[in-house]
Structure 1
């Protein structure tokens, strides 16, 4: 299998891929420098890219390749969690306009049963709830028609989104296929999208010798990656894109004219034309979220290749500035591999610090992310401990505790970097304790703007009268059965809950 890798996890993942006898293609310059290996520039069977928030990676490509990479990635650590992508890039599907916003429309997408992007459509272990609604965002500039609430639109996914992201997959009412070496889009002729004019002319001359033309109504757009490719790889890349375009045109019903956005996709004339599942899904997709244990495991893998400071991936995942700081530090010195994670230095340089505002980002095992609120950091210690206080809005009762939530109540959350649990104590305006709720979760990471973890369902509660109660074991069991929580991670959660139950 050929895989292309990009982002902050690239060095470690390249090492794992090579150890598994996979080929890494179109490697970046740093990867070529770090490895004593030959990297070809060839069309990948799948691509691995770091997510925009640096919390994990997305995988897209041929179904078999995506499945193999997903298995490899979740083996990185106990808290690596994988989710199927119901809207991988390239998917053509119908949607109903649910809402119109200032810059575009929100569509309820017809992703089909379970929303799985695997070849056979099985979603048993997909990690995405079968009845979870899937929305997409269609910028008005991406469709040549006025769209209103209730309209049906046929569109192609241009950019997908992980289940924990706040953004929606982006749609376009114009078809494209390929990527990397060459992309086919509506039009005619050939375009070389390279800044170097001399290199562009040389590449154009090589392309003329291929003897392969895009289907009628499509044009080939060659990217910079094509500059360093042999003729055989150029030919293979174009052949693959042409095959994909022909399959897509047949699936969507494009008649071969250059008016693709009218004949194949765009605003549908009648609701009866809408399909209940995708017309074409040329790629499979998956998302993998890395927890703290997994990031440190990737540190160990990366350290076998090049100088890697303790917490390399953990720090880089925190912010773009922190990521740049890690690169600078490692360029200046060779970090001691057995040193402790420098939490105090990271805190002092990037936060969180006392007086900051910090979100509590409560991940769910099915991939969703819920922000429990934002509070004031009242204390931070060098050992990774920090305290966050939040003023509670009145109304209702505290989950599990049953006590009333009243005006003046304060929630005091005690977090510690790397710990598998954290308590929140609720107090009234006079300071009287109304109960303590202890969340069992993947190891906490205190990033500059948010504390992040994935909730593991089972929790331990201490009521105001001192009674200790363990709750939601059945929810954890159901999550394991649904394929959201691996059994090893569930066993860890149960063990932590038992220890807390005995200690409180």
Structure 2
């Protein structure tokens, strides 16, 4: 066995990421599915993984969990200049002392520190009320751009591919209790072993290694809890979880992943771009690739006419931020549709406040008219009053725009250009871009691209 980090990959990016990782000396892909075995014409090692890569529920990127997640992060960050990566502040497996800030119909919201968590009432044996202090464990991490909160549980576990240890004080094994008797290692006092179904097919050496690793983690948890004592200070991290990383792919990165996949199997133009936009499109993409070659350009018209958006429909504007979160600017009606890849969206604005950088009051009846073009590094929004009077134009510089069936997505790159109603042109927020680069949220190459785009727009508007 080499010293390379073992990585398991699942989801719509599997073939591309398997190829990207398998061609790097520092990684070894393991536990591949039969389809991947056939596609690469080789057998992959079945050994446990040091990091697991899975596509996020919204298909916009991947989550990476495991001790080697930071190393995988570096490799994925190099896929394309519009790939953003973050280390999760609430990683899976973290044990945290937290305070309940509010309760809702199905659960409670807890302050975990940098993020808030969600505790389903079914995950606690005790009644939970606002102001309670609890010791919880993160069981399901959530990407920073997702509206969802990490899910937590009051029962502490150690989860491994073959076995899970549960800290519930019973010590009684479940799943395949006879396995415990066959192995030299026993769970610590107060922990019980719950074996996975796949444990039936594993050898005793693999089972023993899995249990040894789980027991070692359980002892570490016991020590941390003993040293911390009762829940007092909140929020307080009792023990860090498994390193958890999120990677959010932009349009250029998806097309770079297409190239990786194309080295292995037939891949149509825009393969990952289409699959990321609509779950229904996956079967259509698979069919096209089975009967056609992969040459040509991304078929925006065919995809949008089949899955949307088209004229008369609505789309949300998902405004991503380099720090990781995503702001939904609202929904608008598609009033114009160009099969070449452009849509015009209109939104009625709510009164109150001012328009960023324009310094103009937002009034009742104002309309925002926005033009989005697939693949462009910028888009303009014209603000007009109810009488048609132009209040100003805001040109947002961003990663290449992706027009999905129900939303338009991009990541804002801070620097923007505005044109006031009197024709004055102004470039804004360069300082915010500089700060994002210094903070490590935006790579230098991407920042240079953003500045170049802003300069070109500024010069064009002044000419």
Q: Choose from 242, 260, 267 the match for 1:308.
A: 267
Q: Choose from 119, 141, 162 the match for 2:143.
A: 162
Q: Choose from 40, 44, 49 the match for 1:39.
A: 44
Deviations 1:160-192 (A, max 9, x none): 111100000000000110222221124444433
TM-score scaled by length of structure 1: 0.87
Match of 1:179 in 2: 160
Match of 1:85 in 2: 88
Match of 1:130 in 2: none
Q: Choose from 127, 144, 152 the match for 2:133.
A: 152
**Unpaired stretches in structure 2, ≥5 consecutive residues:** none
- Residues 133 and 234 in structure 2, CA contact (< 8 A), matched pair in contact too: no
Q: Choose from 280, 285, 289 the match for 1:321.
A: 280
Deviations 1:273-314 (A, max 9, x none): 235531111411111100000010001001111111111111
- Residues 244 and 282 in structure 1, CA contact (< 8 A), matched pair in contact too: no
What secondary structure sits across from 1:435 in the alignment?
strand
1:229 is displaced (CA, Å) by: 3.2
Q: Give runs of aligned pairs for residues 331-350 of structure 1, distance below 5 A.
A: 332-336=290-294, 338-350=295-307
1:207 is displaced (CA, Å) by: 6.4
Distance 1:377 1:365, change over 3 A: same
- Residues 118 and 150 in structure 2, CA contact (< 8 A), matched pair in contact too: yes
What secondary structure sits across from 1:191 in the alignment?
coil
Q: Does 1:278 align with 2:237?
A: yes
Q: Give runs of aligned pairs for residues 198-237 of structure 1, distance below 5 A.
A: 208-237=181-210
- Residues 98 and 236 in structure 2, CA contact (< 8 A), matched pair in contact too: no
Moved more, 315-324 or 348-357: 315-324
1:324 is displaced (CA, Å) by: 2.9
Q: Choose from 59, 69, 74 the match for 2:72.
A: 69
- Residues 41 and 233 in structure 1, CA contact (< 8 A), matched pair in contact too: no
Moved more, 231-240 or 50-59: 231-240
- What is the rounded CA distance, in whole Å, between the counterparts of 2:200 and 2:30 in structure 1? 14
Q: Give runs of aligned pairs for residues 384-463 of structure 1, distance below 5 A.
A: 384-463=341-420
What secondary structure sits across from 1:279 in the alignment?
strand
Match of 1:107 in 2: 110
1:228 is displaced (CA, Å) by: 4.2
- What is the rounded CA distance, in whole Å, between the counterparts of 2:95 and 2:196 in structure 1? 23
Deviations 1:243-275 (A, max 9, x none): 111111221239xxxxxxxx99xxx6x6xx235
- What is the rounded CA distance, in whole Å, between the counterparts of 1:479 and 1:33 in structure 2? 43
- What is the rounded CA distance, in whole Å, between the counterparts of 1:175 and 1:437 in structure 2? 50
What secondary structure sits across from 1:48 in the alignment?
strand
What secondary structure sits across from 1:478 in the alignment?
helix
- What is the rounded CA distance, in whole Å, between the counterparts of 2:260 and 2:215 in structure 1? 38
Match of 1:10 in 2: 14
Q: What number of residue pairs does the alignment pair up?
A: 454
1:227 is displaced (CA, Å) by: 4.4
1:18 is displaced (CA, Å) by: 1.0
Moved more, 207-216 or 437-446: 207-216
TM-score scaled by length of structure 2: 0.94
- Residues 181 and 226 in structure 1, CA contact (< 8 A), matched pair in contact too: yes
Match of 2:115 in 1: 134
- What is the rounded CA distance, in whole Å, between the counterparts of 1:434 and 1:96 in structure 2? 46
Deviations 1:322-366 (A, max 9, x none): 223222332x31432x31000011101111111111100000110
What secondary structure sits across from 1:44 in the alignment?
coil
- Residues 358 and 451 in structure 1, CA contact (< 8 A), matched pair in contact too: yes
Distance 1:41 1:490, change over 3 A: same
- Provide the aligned C-alpha RMSD in A: 1.8
Q: Choose from 279, 289, 309 the match for 2:248.
A: 289
What secondary structure sits across from 2:174 in the alignment?
strand
- What is the rounded CA distance, in whole Å, between the counterparts of 2:284 and 2:171 in structure 1? 46
Q: Choose from 17, 23, 45 the match for 1:19.
A: 23
- Structure with the larger RCO, 1 or 2 (CA within 8 Å, 6+ apart): 1
- Residues 41 and 228 in structure 1, CA contact (< 8 A), matched pair in contact too: no
